[in-house]
Structures are given as C-alpha cells and as structure tokens.
Structure 1
Amino acid sequence: MNLPHDTDERLAALRRQAAEWAGELRSHALTWEQTQRSAHTTVTRPPELALLTALSDLSLPERYDKPAVEAYGHRFTTTNALERAVLTEEAAYGDAALLLAAPGALTAGPVVEALGSTDQQDWFYGRLAGRTGWTCLAMTEAGHGSDAAGMRSALTRPERDDRTDACEDHVLTGAKTYIGNAARAHTAVVFARTGDGPLDLRAVLLDLRAPGVTAAPLPTIGLAGALGTLGLDAVEVGADGLLGRHLPPIKRGMWGWLRAFNLLRTSAAAMGVGIARAAHDYVRHHRTTLRAEDRARLDGISRRTAAVRELTYRAVGEIEAHPDRGHLPSVAKVSAARLAERTTREALRFFGHGARLDHPLLDKWARDARGVEYLEGTSDIQRLQIYNTLARSGPAPAPPTGPGE
C-alpha cells in the first residue's frame, strides 16, 4: 500500500527504516503491557529501542545539540509534518503504547514552537538536549475532556494588574488527566484559564518537580503505561513561564493551541492508520485459507484503510501549507479513530470464539485502538472543530446559471 509521497526517495528511506525499527517495538509489546499491568502504580521507563530513540531525537529542532538519524543513506536531524506522520504510522504499526511512552517533545514541542519565545524554547529544549527525558502536554480534564470552553484549571494572580503580565507571578490550580507520560515527565506545557473569555486560555511551562505538583500513572485497559494524571495545588508560575507573552493577546492561547493540535491530530490519525494496518496484516498472515466472503471482508478492510491513510496524508499536506486550518486534520482524526476500532474488532472475528485469548497481540491492539478516540480530542470535539471551520467559511457559492435559467 503505497502513497504518492512514498515515491520521494528520502521519505521512502525514512519509512523503510521506521518499518524495520517497528518490528523491535512489536517484539516488546506484550511484555511491556504485562509489566505495566503488574505495577500500574509504579513509574517505569520503556526499553531503549531504536525507533523510540529516533522519535526523541527528531522531536528537537535542528538548532539544538543532538545526534542525527541515519536511514538508508539519508540523514535526518529534524522532521516536518509529513515525516512525522510516517514515523508515527510505522511506530503504531509496531506498538502504539510504546510509541506514546517515547521520550522527547512529541506533544509539548509543537506548542512551545508556536507560543514560546526564544528564551522559553531554549529552556524547554535545553532540558532535553544531550540526554533522555520526557515532557507532556496537559490539556484534558475529567468531565470536560479537551474542551477549552469547559476547562476548570485556573491561572490567577494574587494582585491582578490587567495591563501587563510582565511583573506578576501567577498561581496554577487544577487537575489534568489522560496525559501522555505525565508520570515520567520532568517538564510540562499546561493549559489553564485566566478568565471566562475567548482570549483567556493560556499555556505555561512547568517544572513538574515544583511544589504543589503531583503526578501519577493512570491504569487503563488499553495503551498501558502511556497515560497519567497531574494535580496542581497552588503551583507558583513565574512570568517567564507564561507562553506567548511576546505575542499579541489574540495569539497567546487558542491560536497557538489550534496550530499545535492540528499537527497533533494528524499524528493521532496516523497512529490509527498504523493500528488498522497491523490488524489487517495480522489476519492476512495468520488466516492463510479464507472463504470467498472472508476474502471480501479483508479486501474491504484494506480499501477502508487505504482511503483513511490517503485522507490523513492530505490533512498533513494541508497543515504544512496552512497551519491554522483545522478542518482536514479533524476529519482525519475522526475517520482514523473509527477505522482503528472497527478494523481491530473485525479482525478478531476472523478467528472465532476465544480470539482474544488465542491471539493476545490482536486483543491488545483492539484495546489500544479505543484509546485513539481520546487522543488530541474526542470525535465530538473534532466535529465541533469541523462545524466551526465550515461555519466560518460560509455557505458554498451557488453554481453559475446558464442563459435563460
């Protein structure tokens, strides 16, 4: 299953190398899950695997000291959105839970790039350069998900001066959940509200060793070991921790959040495609004899996966050209989440009763697939984003009429 992009020699080399590394992830997948289930209250580090290391290295901008990634005669020091999608898809084909447990700045980095000043970026990436470290992006809250309008985490100042952010420290209070690598991370980007208005969403850089911060792993049925929670009890945030202070007020919060999440949603979509591909190929390799109707079902899975994969890469191209447009990334995310769940469940049915017991890897993928729904906004959030985009663009123009019509 090739895409037009794969005809690019450099991108094809990256995909080929990532596909080889993905096999290493898969070989550790079940052991990693068992480890997380037996010690779900203990923070553990994932094994140092080549693909996880590459993802960590490539999440840092080129200007920071870090090793290059070699792939079939090509040298990579950072990635664009297209290369990021390729790596994410192939890593999820190996194992999505280990992908989400990768070190580096895979989720928080895009927000820091969009909203951070040069000094803030240096502080954030400087904590990662030259060593293995984890960061996290904290948006989701219990009861509200990633709905910015319903967010309850608060960023307040004891003596508020509405004219400036420059000289006042802030206090951060709230609770975040379903946060990737929350219990492993040493640095976080946390979203909170300074008020109820549309410009009152703000992001802060936070050292998770600060007083008032509590982090814990979150036991889950799928994506074991990947997610956690953050408690924020009157955590002091200095003025230099406020992302976007150097930007106009309209670009300090929601603008940067949308730009970053558009990229992250294409990554989540690529993850769903990778899981679906893995389930399809598992059936193809383990059911060598199929009835005509079973072959038709498997062919249908292949066609659906190819269609969503193409949609995902179209969305990647859209945000590379127009980072503020969130329509296609949201469509791709909804489609890929549904694809991953549907495909893994259907793949289990190829093996009859007891399939989850007899095929533990396929069972794991089915549970992991459900987690894609909650990454970077649920399908309901994505549909709101799609609606808002279409509503802003207005109704489609009427077709031209011919003479006499």
Structure 2
Amino acid sequence: MTTDNGFLSDLRALGREHAATLGATALELDRDPSRATALLSGELPWRQLIGMPAEYNPDPLRVRGRPVYMDRCVEQVVVMEELARVDAAAVLALPGPSMSGFVIADIADQPQRDRYYQLLADRPTWTFFGMTEPAHGSDPAGMRTALSPDGAGGGLLLNGTKRFVGNGARAGIGVVFARRHAGPLGVVAVLLQSGTAGFTGVPLDTLGLRGLQLSELRMRDVPVAEEDLLGRHRSATRGGMWSAVRTFNRYRPVVASFALGVAQGAHDYAAEHRRRLSAGERHQLSDLADRLEGTRAMVLAAAHAADRDPGDGTLASAAKIRATRLAEESTLLALRLFGPGARWEHPLLDKWARDARAFEFMEGTSNVQRLTLTQGYLRGRLTDGRPAA
C-alpha cells in the first residue's frame, strides 16, 4: 500500500492540511517549550500522527478509505516533511512513542508492550530514548550508565546520566540503555517510568528545536525489576544494542525528512516574500528547488530501505547527510536574500535557521554517517538498499 505513489501523494496532501494548524503556535512554542501541552492539543490530530499500533489506535488516519497507522518509515517521512515545513520542533514535541517505540516493537514482551502503549493510549504521554551520555555520546563501549545488583533487595539498581534526550523532562515513560555486563553484548534496554524513585529529568537550554525540550536524565539508585528488562526473553545478540542500531537506522530517514521540511519551508518563504530577485538570486532559488526534489527522492528511497531491512543503515545515513546539509544551506540562503536584519524582521526564518543546525547532532553526526555509508559500500550495498549480486 505504501509503495503506491498515488497513495503517498494523497497522504502528503493530508499532512499538508494538518501542517497549516502549526503556523499559529511555532514562535510561541519556541519562546516557551513548557507550553507544549497547551499549544499542541488543539486542532492537530496528534494521536493519529504518532505511530500507535492498531490495537491501541481505534481512530487512525484514513487515506482512500484505508487506515494509516503511521508505523512505517515511508508513511512517516512523507507526513513529517510536510509538518516540518511549518515547525519541526512542534512535531518532535508531540506526545507518543517516538524512538523508544521502535525498541518496544522489536524486543518487548506482551506485558511490557501493554504497559507502554496503554499509558500512551490513556492520556497524552511523552516518551524518552536514553542513549547519549555526557562524556561518551552514544558509544556503547564507553557507556557509564550501569545496572548493578541491589544487595539488600535482591533486584537491580540503575545509576548514570543521559544527556540530549528529547522530551526527557516531560516524559512519563521510556527506554534507558545501560551496561549490565562487560563486552559488546552487555548493554541492555530498561523500560522505565519517570515517577520511579531516584529518576530526575532536567530540561536543557538550547538555541534550536527548543520545543523538543532536550533534557538530561539523572538516575541514582533507581530500582529495576526483571520485568523491566526489555528483551529478557531473547538471546543477547537480539537484545539492547541490536534494537538500538535498528532504531537508529529506522529513525534517520525521519530525521532527514524533518531537515528536508525545514529546507523546503525556508525556500518557500523566500520565494513568496522576496518579490524582487536578481537573475543570480532566481538561479540560486531554482537550483535549490532542484536539490530539494532530488533529496526528497533519496529520503523516500531510504525510508523504503529501512522498512525492508532495519538492519541496514546505508541509505538512511546518505539521506541524513544530504538533508542536514541542505537544511543549513537553504536557511542561510533565505536569510541572505532578505539582507541585514533578516533575523529580526523575519522571526520564522531565524527560528528555522536555528532549528536546521540541530539535525546534524540527531542520531549521529555526518562523520558517523559517512562511516556507516562506507561500510555499506564495502559490503556491496546498492543504492536501493539491496545487496549486490
């Protein structure tokens, strides 16, 4: 169904309709991220956009009479690009499963799945994905967050700090990655609710994507039971880090779609509001439009590849590199076209320019993506994500 170009065009049009509701709140959310609940609970049908599974989502989006649960990467990149043309931060600030939902889908058992999704279905609930640490980023070999035996109670204790976690301070439940044993298979995923003793989420000050409210998670002797360990019924080779890699591969095309949406929004704003253009400026906008279209095709191809094989991140990395760079170039071009004072006279352009810089650091910088891309090339991956013959 999602490979039907006509279907995707209709889905994109529906996303564009919903995007129109975000314009009135974009600057206010940027000024005060704590108002996310009040600002995003209006006309935007957020429950239909966040990727809830069918059994927890009785009223999904419908296109051509068919239900669309937004649980496939192809569906997500099409809709998220349209929403991000207006405000990527608002979409990232919506309640729902976000990245942690991929981990739940991969390795949670049924009671864990019910515990997670029922909370999201009952009331607006944000989630977190706790991987990045202050000193070591997302490098599993340097991970300091640890699970250790609780000598007194017989359970486990979680200690550590995670930083740059989207929605962390406002979240109700999420996934934290921690080291339980030495070695590459010693990293496990823990299902954790924010009200647990010893857990604290603190918002961080940022310049871009302020609505996302990046946070620091601090865990001090947080009690963890065996039923909180995701993938405990699976082999260690199909546990925490296995699901984390698959999550990154599936989410990178979505990050690319956010960046592409910001780039397209800046282009459209300049084309609409900068009426008098020199021949050189018209050429720059025309060239940018061509590059936007080419990047859109790459992001869609990466999304198809991620849906086919979440274990291969080759195209996802390529799409993120290109879309991230294009978002930065597009917003800078738009500002230059309006001349000195553009950031003050056009606050949306200023916001988009700040937001565009954040995508470089989401789910791996461009240098990390180039390493993944190189590994994919050396393994004989084709541009469509299939292994070479």
Q: Given the two structures, how large is their TM-score scaled by the length of structure 1?
A: 0.87
Counterpart in the other structure of 1:223: 209
1:352 aligns with 2:329: no
Is 1:173 paired with 2:159?
yes
Deviation at 1:93, TM superposition (A): 0.9
Cα distance in 1 between the residues matched to 2:62 and 2:7: 11
Q: Rate the CA distance shift 1:157–1:326 in 2: closer, same or farther, 3 A.
A: same
Picking from 180, 183, 187, the partner of 2:169 is 183
Report SS of the residue matched to 1:30: helix
- Deviations for 1:4-58, whole angstroms, at most 9, x for unmatched residues? x89633322221111011111122101211223xx7xx986542144461455x4
How much does 1:256 deviate? Answer: 1.0
2:385 corresponds to = none
1:375 matched to 2:362? The reply is yes
**C-alpha RMSD of the superposition:** 2.2
CA drift at 1:109: 0.5
Matched, 1:27 2:19: no
2:46 corresponds to which residue?
A: 53
For residue 243 of structure 1, report the CA deviation from its aligned partner: 0.8
* 1:10 counterpart SS class: helix
1:130 deviates by: 3.3
Q: Of 170, 177, 199, which aligns to 2:185?
A: 199
**What amino acid sits opposite 1:154 in the alignment?**
A
Asked if the contact 2:127/2:168 (under 8 Å) is kept, the reply is: yes
Go from structure 1 to structure 2 and tell me whether the alpha carbon gap of 1:155 and 1:46 turns closer, same or farther (over 3 Å shift): farther
In the TM superposition, 1:217-296 aligns within 5 A as 217-226=203-212, 227-296=214-283
Q: Which moved more, 1:265-274 or 1:19-28?
A: 19-28
Counterparts of 1:154 and 1:144, CA distance in 2? 14
State the 1:221 CA deviation: 0.7
Distance 1:352 1:301, change over 3 A: same
TM-fit CA distance, 1:391: 4.6
Q: Given residue 53 of structure 1, which amino acid in structure 2 is its aligned partner?
A: W
Q: Give 2:374's aligned residue.
A: 387
Q: Which amino acid aligns with 2:128?
A: C
- The aligned runs of 1:73-152 (5 Å cut-off) are 73-152=65-144
Q: Deviation digits for residues 94-147 of structure 1, max 9, x if unmatched?
A: 201111100111221011101111221111111111322111111111232222
- In structure 2, do the counterparts of structure 1 residues 337 and 235 end up closer, same or farther at CA, with 3 Å as the change threshold? same
Q: Distance between the aligned counterparts of 1:6 and 1:33, measured in 2?
A: 35
Letter in 1 for 2:195: R
Q: Distance in 2 between matches of 1:175 and 1:206?
A: 14
In structure 2, distance between residues paired with 1:109 and 1:271: 18
The residue identity in structure 2 corresponding to 1:16 is A
Q: Is the 8 A contact 1:25 1:49 kept in 2?
A: no
Distance verdict in 2 for CA 1:190–1:46, change over 3 Å: farther
CA contact (8 A) 1:212 1:234 kept: yes
SS at match of 2:121: coil
Alpha carbons of structure 1 residues 66 and 230: separation in structure 2 relative to 1, 3 Å: farther
Native 8 Å contact 1:145 1:377 kept in 2: no
- Matched residue, 1:12: 9
Q: TM-score, normalised by structure 2?
A: 0.91
Which of the pair has more CA radius of gyration?
A: 1
Distance in 1 of aligned mates of 2:53 and 2:302: 22
Q: Aligned residue for 1:397?
A: none
Residue 323 of structure 1 is matched in structure 2 by 310
1:216-264 Cα distance to aligned partner (Å, 9 max, x none): 2211111113121211111111101111111111111221111111111
Contact (CA 8 Å) 1:82, 1:316: kept in 2 or not? yes
- Contact 2:199 2:222 (C-alpha < 8 Å) held by counterparts: yes
Query: Would the aligned equivalents of 2:29 and 2:36 in 1 still touch at CA under 8 Å?
Result: no
Percent identity of paired positions between Structure 1 and Structure 2:
39
Q: Classify 1:332/1:52 alpha carbon distance in 2 versus 1 (closer, same or farther; 3 Å).
A: farther
* 2:123 partner SS: coil
1:168 shift after superposition: 6.1
Specify the alignment match of 1:314 in structure 2.
Answer: 301
Deviation at 1:273, TM superposition (A): 0.5
1:334 aligns with 2:326: no
- Number of matched residues? 378
Instruction: Report if aligned partners of 2:25, 2:39 keep a CA contact under 8 Å in 1.
Output: no
Which blocks of at least 5 consecutive residues in structure 1 are unaligned?
A: 160-166, 395-405
Equivalent position of 2:61 in the other structure? 69
* Cα distance change on mapping 1:264 and 1:285 into 2, 3 Å: same
- Counterparts of 2:150 and 2:140 in 1: how far apart (Å)? 23
Contact map agreement 1:46 1:102 (CA 8 A) in 2: no
Q: Structure 2 vs 1, CA of residues 327 and 90 (structure 1 numbering), >3 Å: closer, same or farther?
A: same
The answer (yes or no) to whether the contact 1:52–1:99 under 8 Å persists in 2 is no
The residue type paired with residue 255 of structure 1 is W
